[in-house]
Amino acid sequence: MAQVPVEVRGLVKRYGDLVAVDHVDLTIEEGDVYGYLGPNGAGKTTSLRMMLGLIRPTAGSVRLFGRDPQLSVKALEGVAGFVEAPRFYPYLSARRNLELVAAFDGGDAPSRIDDALATVELTGRAGDKIGGYSHGMRQRLGIAGALLRNPRLLLLDEPATGLDPAGMRDMRALIRRLADGGMTVVLSSHIMAEVEELCNKVAIVRSGRIAYEGAISELKRTAGSGYRLRTTDDDRALAVCAAQPGVEDARLAHDGIHMNAEEAVAADLSIALVESGVGIVEMVRESATLEDLFFRLTEDEQAVAV
Ligand SMILES: Nc1ncnc2c1ncn2[C@@H]1O[C@H](COP(=O)(O)OP(=O)(O)O)[C@@H](O)[C@H]1O
Ligand SMILES: [Mg+2]
């Protein structure tokens, strides 16, 4: 039976009194582009280190394609990635660095160097010393190094953090291409817009704990969708909203009436307004962004922690 790429159960990492990762459960399926989203210090790097078998969990388990990365190097077959920043020899060229990585990985890794350089768009700069590379180029070279292993699962720790806008755009496009090619990708990030753009699933972490886990589409759906309404007579419109079944939380603000309503309810409301002699000037949908949800979830968490 095909094993899922990542299965994490009850994962804990303590450093003295500090609980860096606090009972994390994750299931990442084939083809997912999975966002591990949280502010600085949330435990993202520590979690990824345990997933890559670089540090030992205090409790709980990690399985990559059904294997424990602590127990066998075999578990890392088909898996690649890096935490924080990739390491290279600055006084050697990109190609020479990849040759060293490929020699270490063995097998047919050396034959993949040209393809890997092309995928990360560094073919033209492959002869240059890494010491002269920008941060974005180094990050991309890190991914090229990972691709030499021909991975089915790629784990990336904040790959776009610290890049300039062009570097960020290139990195996101690269991850998109890899995902479109069928690779399962796990990436940590503190940038909500990035996760929203790239990922189909998300775990929102705070203080080592998961505040939400699931499909981004589901997260947005549960947030409900709101409408903003401007009319020829907002006071009368507010009364119509209050009387309309299914319209919730209608309130008048400086830019019109805000409310929550399903699409069918909004359609009925528009008819009721016109029948009451109220003209609709503007009626726009306002769905919550991932950013709104992130703050709502993490604020709730704070409220609980206080
Ligand atoms: N080796 C370590 N020793 C002690 N504390 C650590 C160590 N590694 C991480 N931490 C602490 O664990 C928490 C989570 O860190 P980290 O996983 O790096 O967070 P993130 O990557 O989300 O910013 C932080 O409070 C950090 O200071
Ligand atoms: Mg980190």
CA of 41 to the centre of ligand 1 (A): 6
CA of 179 to the centre of ligand 1 (A): 28
Dig out the tokens for 284 from the structure.
């726009």
Positions in the chain whose pLDDT score sits under 50: 301-306
| 224-287 matches 6-220 in CATH topology | no
Which residue minimizes the CA distance to atom 2 of ligand 1?
15
Neighbours of 168 (CB within 10 A): 18
For residue 240, the 8-state DSSP code is: H
Whether 38 lines ligand 1, by a CB cut-off of 6 Å, is: yes
For the CA atoms of 126, 130, 134, 138, what is the dihedral angle to 10 degrees?
Answer: 80
DSSP 42-82: SSHHHHHHHHTTSS--SEEEEEETTB-TTT-GGGGTTEEEE
CA of 222 to the centre of ligand 2 (A): 29
Domain boundaries, the chain: 6-220, 224-287
- Give pTM, 2 decimals: 0.81
Q: How far apart are CA 227 and CA 88, in angstroms?
A: 52
Whether 63 lines ligand 1, by a CB cut-off of 6 Å, is: no
User: In CATH, what number does 224-287 get?
Assistant: 3.30.70.100
Atom of ligand 1 nearest to the CA of 13: 12
Across the beta sheet with 18-28, the strand order is 18-28, 6-15, 59-64
Q: How far apart are CA 132 and CA 3, in angstroms?
A: 42
User: CB neighbours of 223 closer than 8 A, spacing ≥ 6?
Assistant: 287, 288, 292, 293, 296
User: Class for domain 6-220, per CATH?
Assistant: alpha beta
